[in-house]
Amino acid sequence: MRRSRSYLHFKSVGMKLFVILFCTIVILSSVLGLTSYYTAKGIITDEVAAASSQSIVQAADKLDFLFAQYEALSRQFAVDSVLKADIEMVNNPAAGTVKKTAAEDRIRRKLDSVKGSDDRLLGIRLVSKSLVEAESYKSAGTISLRSDEAIMGRMKQIVDAKGNPVWFPVRSKGFFDAYNEPSLTMGRLLRNIQHPEAEYYMLIEIKGKALTDVLSNLHIGLGGEIRILNPEGIIVYGADNALLGQTSSIKVDQEQLKRENHSFTAADDKGDSQLVVYQSLKTAKWTMMGYAPVSDFTQSASKLLYITLLVVLAAALIAAFIGYFLMRLIGRPLGKLAGLMEEGQKGNLQVRTHFKSQDEIGRLGSSFNQMMEQISLLAGQSGLSANEVLATSEQLVSASSATSLHAREVATATGDIAFGATSLAEEAEKSNRNVETMGLKMNDVAENNTMMDASAGKVIGVSNQGSELMKQLVEKSESSVEMMNLIVQNADKLRQSTHLIRSILTPMIAVNKQTNILALNASIEAVRAGVAGRGFIVIADEIRQLANQSSESIHSVSRITDEIGLDIENTVKVVNEAAPLFLEQITSVRESSSIFESVKQEMEDFIGHIGQSSLSIAELLQFQRQLGESMASVSAVVEETSAATQEVASMSSQQFIVSEELVTLSAKLEGLAESLKESLVSFNI
């Protein structure tokens, strides 16, 4: 019994629903009543503002239409060719009196006809820029001109407008402060570029009563008022002429003019809240504004306060009854559902509800049953996925270990390449020194031949000494031959070294290809692993990039090795070409020695042989210089090979480090898979 009545406890959902529902209904009823009261006031104010705004817009359109008519009239005067010709005629000193009089008469009759056709006009003038009465023209019944400082300032505004219309506020005594009734004035400069002396101020004076007639049907509230303000907030038009030219207590600023809703509330000079509506005129830079007290529109909304109190009392009674019903309807099923969820929390995924109702409680029970079934399926699928992840991680560990092993082999092979490049550099340096030694020997031979040529006359007397010198020459020539043979042997060693480098590069290329394949397999397995394998995709990409960089470096080393081999072949070719010359030299020297010993009277032939020997020595010196240049090129290529090999060794070390990190990450993945598998064991599926 205690279990079935648990929903009556204060901490139960049923009691909380009762309290919440009761408080909610009472509060909502109160809030609704008060909100209705203030909303009604707001709606009434907004509706009145919208209606008044429409009235203001329509009135503003009427004023714009009226002003546009007079602006169009001024444009007609500005483009009237006959009027323009008449004005130029009266200002032409060379024109006759008759023509001037006729032109002045046409101008006055035109002004009179325009004024006579519109009873809203107080007068129309064409005022000379000198403001002289005799040089100006006006319609019949218009008062004479004045030219005080204020009038001059207004005329300057017309000049600054550069031919555009300028509207002046309603003045109680007109534009020239000489009328007995208020008037609104539009001014415009009738420009004449070819005859500046014929430019006139056109003034169209409109009766203030015309504005009152246009706005006579516009009413805002019971005691509202209509005003027209300029951008500075000065009253341009108002029902009370005494307020013209004064600053309005309620203004419309530039920010409010940019709003779409042309209404707001503001306090007047007495502090009363006023509903203000406004609309900008399109012709003049003025704003039409109407305002009325807000209290005129909201008196009928006060009855809502009494209705709100009655509704709150009735809502409290209804809320108490509904709250108790909900306690029984919702609290009891939720208690049962809470017990089943506690069983599910303990790992029993076989619990199910048996709600038979078709409402949300029944749907909740059905959803709970479906949720438990989905959780059971999800737990089973998670177990299968954990097994797959574990198997994949084991494969990844194996692949990572193989990659690490290959990286270690690549590093070892790179070290061998570096050692071979160092040996090659030493051999190239040794060959270069031998070439330099050969050059020195060649120079010695050349100097000896020169001395022998200079001493040819003395050789006859000292033939025995000549024989000894020839023997020395034979020995030096044989030494040169031995040096050439040594160069050929060193070249063969260099050729073998290049073949060794190629044989070392071949397994490195194969290792790089295998690394690319392993990185691709790792990427595929990481994609299969889903979110858990995103990090391995990045690692596989890095391994593939390192393999590509290693491949490029290996290709560079192979290309440099080919260039070294080509240079070695060229060196061997040059040495082979020089070898016959050395043999010929030895033969010539031996023959000369036998001639010295047998026939001394043939010294002239010996001198000829000395000349041939000098020529051969010169050729040998030239070959020696070429051989020195080739050996210098070989040394430079060997240095480049050594640098490239060191770079490959550095990349191989980085690849080995990445492989070790991949092995570590693979081990972590395997541990996570084991952890996921163990966490799923606690569910009773």
Rounded CA-CA distance 564/425 in Å is 11
Q: Choose between 510 and 167: higher pLDDT.
A: 167
Cβ-based neighbours of 666, under 8 Å, separated by 6 or more = 393, 396, 397, 399, 400
Rounded CA-CA distance 385/396 in Å is 16
What confidence score (pLDDT) does residue 3 get? 44
- Residue 153, pLDDT > 80, answer yes
SS3 content of the chain, % helix, strand, coil (to 5): 75, 10, 15
Strand order in the sheet with 200-207: 137-138, 121-128, 200-207, 183-190, 166-171
Q: How many CA atoms lie within 13 A of 299 on its CB side?
A: 6
Mean pLDDT of 521-549: 76
Q: Name the 3-class secondary structure at 522.
A: helix
- Residues 415 and 649: beta-carbon distance below 8 Å: yes
pLDDT class of 7 with cuts at 50, 70, 90: very low
Measured in degrees and rounded to the nearest 5, phi and psi for residue 225 equal: -140, 145
CA nearest neighbour of 539 among 388, 648, 669, 415? 669
- Residues 512 and 547: beta-carbon distance below 8 Å: yes
What confidence score (pLDDT) does residue 337 get? 72
Question: What is the number of other CB atoms lying within 10 angstroms of the CB of residue 278?
Answer: 26
Rounded CA-CA distance 36/30 in Å is 10
What confidence score (pLDDT) does residue 1 get? 36
- pLDDT tens-digit profile of 627-657? 667 667 766 766 776 666 666 666 666 666 7
pLDDT class of 4 with cuts at 50, 70, 90: very low
- pLDDT tens-digit profile of 468-504? 666 776 677 677 777 777 777 777 777 777 777 777 7
Rounded CA-CA distance 455/67 in Å is 130
The two beta strands, 166-171 and 273-280, are unpaired
Most confident of 455-459, 566-570, 590-594: 566-570
What confidence score (pLDDT) does residue 10 get? 53
- pLDDT tens-digit profile of 80-119? 889 889 888 988 888 888 888 899 899 999 999 998 898 8
Tell me which residue has tokens 């009328």.
179
What confidence score (pLDDT) does residue 188 get? 93
Q: Which of 71-75, 118-122, 184-188, 572-576 has the lowest mean pLDDT?
A: 572-576
Mean pLDDT of 4-12: 51
Global pTM?
0.43
- pLDDT tens-digit profile of 172-184? 888 888 788 888 9
pLDDT class of 6 with cuts at 50, 70, 90: very low
Measured in degrees and rounded to the nearest 5, phi and psi for residue 395 equal: -65, -40
- Residue 680, pLDDT > 70, answer no
What confidence score (pLDDT) does residue 72 get? 92
